[in-house]
């Protein structure tokens, strides 16, 4: 049985922002409906300029009404909102953290949190280091008398290897590594966590989870949304920085990691970091040859006309920023030598889905000579992460009747069919784990840096190539044809999601 989290005050920087309203506060509410929040719990909403308490509570209440999937439990919602207090603090004015310290002490005393506090930085990345520095200077990050002080940092965690290393160093000037929780909401999804269970709790899979039996691995994050109002951010970031070092590499590391000595944060994160560190670092020429950088042009998504990327608000008309990326990666270790990992992600595509597809090597078919093999398909184990969560195993079977012919069949497991899953934002497990001090689903500094180390050659090669290697694709399509060619040259093709 899951235990109730210990008493604490949740200090929420950027409380008046979209992330807080849409995901973070609804996740805290969902934890409360599951009986996992302690009675001794409070939320200190921090803004950079004065904000009325009732206005803040109305903002958070609106988020519950919009983004909580189940009918709102009015008593729990009212209880949560009553525990909200407000403070003004801005790292540009370090003196403002003295007021924050006083407000935090008052809230801690009123709810009986015992000095435990979690600081959630739902703020722009440029504010991470200054905010932590100001918290440290105010004495708010010191752990005294058995009480904890933890900091949750949102992505993006750096823009390249140098900036990630600098940010890690800046945070560790104030915090110990076990106080830093680098959040990636993908790791809150049930299927992502279930990769560990699937691999290591079943004697069926682990013996064949290696190069002798696996032909290749595909990881796809396909989005139908365009960049919308994020033009200024996205044009300076692009699909590679936005998705690959965090979301896609988290999936890759769980698939590729070695069995941990035990199921705890230190062991699991160490093996994930080793898997990322084993990704082959490419030369600029290899990086160009093993990547596709695409950008959407005008098209139609679900029957709606869609403007091209260069026509979006706050995007330069001559921008070469990628909205699609496909990579071919190699992992240089004993388990995966010779097994390519194909990664792709993009905006404005035909379908929204996220999956990991593991293709097994073909069986020798000489014994089936003379049979109808037109229906014979590859064997895949597919881990479906969005929009539905589940696992599919595809294999071949004889069709009924006197003739000897083969057809593919699939065994499908969906979480919704087997478990009474509670409505969730994807943040619940992560926030709860931080409260109990379990960092297994959070990124560690060495894993972050290993990811950027693998990505850096692509950034450098693309910068040098300019627009020469930019592939265009129509909004509402499956992406640029160059991504198909990336696999076709290896005699492979992307799996089409069913």
Q: Does the N-terminal peptide bond of residue 361 adopt cis geometry, omega within 30 degrees of 0?
A: no
Question: 25 phi and psi, to 5 degrees?
Answer: -65, -40
CB within 8 Å of 156: residues ≥ 6 apart = 125, 237, 241, 242, 245, 246
- b/e map of 392-406 (b: 16 or more CB within 10 Å)? bbbebeeeeeeeeeb
User: CB atoms < 10 A from the CB of 481, how many?
Assistant: 15
Question: 485 phi and psi, to 5 degrees?
Answer: -65, -30
CA distance 342 to 327: 6
- List the one residue out of 348, 341, 373 whose CA is nearest residue 487: 341
CA distance 67 to 28: 12
Q: Is 476 left (phi over 0), alpha (psi -120 to 50) or beta?
A: left
CB within 8 Å of 485: residues ≥ 6 apart = none
CA distance 267 to 115: 29
User: CB atoms < 10 A from the CB of 419, how many?
Assistant: 10
Residue 247 annotated among the catalytic residues of the structure: yes
Question: 240 phi and psi, to 5 degrees?
Answer: -65, -55
In the block, residue with structure tokens 């006083």: 102
Token representation of residue 365: 């078919």
- List the one residue out of 242, 249, 240, 247 whose CA is nearest residue 276: 249
Q: Tell me which of 59, 185, 216, 247 is the catalytic residue.
A: 247
Active-site residue set: 247
């Amino acid at each position: 049985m899951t235990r109730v989290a210990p008493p604490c005050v949740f200090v929420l920087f950027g409380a008046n922002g979209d992330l807080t309203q849409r995901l973070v506060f609804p996740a805290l509410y969902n934890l409360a409906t599951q009986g996992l929040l302690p009675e001794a719990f409070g939320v200190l909403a921090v803004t950079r300029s004065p904000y009325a308490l009732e206005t803040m509570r109305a903002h958070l209440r609106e988020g519950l009404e919009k983004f909580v999937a189940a009918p709102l439990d009015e008593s729990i919602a009212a209880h949560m909102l009553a525990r909200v207090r407000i403070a003004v603090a801005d790292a540009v004015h370090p003196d403002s953290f003295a007021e924050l310290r006083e407000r935090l002490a008052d809230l801690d005393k009123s709810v009986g949190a015992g000095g435990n506090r979690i600081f959630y930085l739902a703020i722009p990345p440029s504010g991470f280091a200054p905010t932590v520095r100001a918290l440290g200077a105010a004495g708010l990050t010191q752990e005294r008398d058995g009480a904890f002080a933890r900091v949750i940092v949102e992505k993006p965690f750096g823009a390249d290897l140098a900036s990630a290393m600098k940010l890690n160093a800046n945070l560790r000037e104030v915090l110990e590594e076990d106080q830093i929780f680098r959040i990636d909401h993908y790791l809150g999804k049930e299927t992502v966590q279930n990769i560990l269970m699937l691999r290591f709790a079943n004697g069926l899979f682990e013996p064949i989870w290696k190069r002798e039996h696996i032909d290749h691995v595909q990881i796809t994050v396909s989005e139908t949304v365009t960049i919308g109002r994020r033009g200024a951010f996205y044009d300076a970031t692009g699909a590679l920085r936005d998705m690959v070092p965090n979301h896609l590499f988290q999936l890759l590391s769980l698939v590729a990691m070695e069995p941990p000595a035990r199921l705890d944060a230190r062991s699991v994160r160490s093996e994930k970091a080793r898997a990322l560190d084993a990704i082959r670092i490419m030369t600029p020429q290899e990086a160009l040859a093993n990547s596709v950088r695409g950008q959407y042009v005008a098209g139609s998504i679900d029957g709606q006309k869609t403007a091209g990327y260069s026509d979006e608000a706050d995007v330069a008309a001559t921008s070469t920023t990628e909205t699609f990326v496909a990579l071919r990666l190699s992992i240089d270790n004993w388990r995966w030598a010779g097994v390519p990992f194909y990664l792709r992600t993009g905006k404005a595509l035909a379908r929204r889905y996220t999956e990991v597809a593991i293709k097994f090597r073909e069986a020798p078919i000489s014994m089936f000579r003379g049979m109808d093999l037109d229906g014979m398909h590859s064997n895949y184990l597919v881990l479906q992460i969005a929009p539905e969560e589940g696992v599919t195993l595809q294999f071949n079977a004889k069709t009924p009747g006197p003739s000897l012919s083969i057809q593919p069949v699939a065994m499908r497991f969906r979480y919704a069919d087997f478990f009474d899953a509670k409505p969730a934002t994807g943040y619940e497990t992560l926030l709860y784990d931080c409260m109990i001090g379990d960092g297994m689903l959070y990124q560690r500094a060495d894993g972050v840096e290993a990811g950027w180390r693998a990505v850096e050659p692509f950034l450098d090669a693309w910068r040098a190539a300019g627009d020469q290697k930019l592939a265009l694709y129509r909004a509402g399509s499956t992406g640029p044809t160059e991504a198909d060619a990336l696999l076709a040259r290896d005699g492979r093709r992307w799996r089409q999601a069913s």
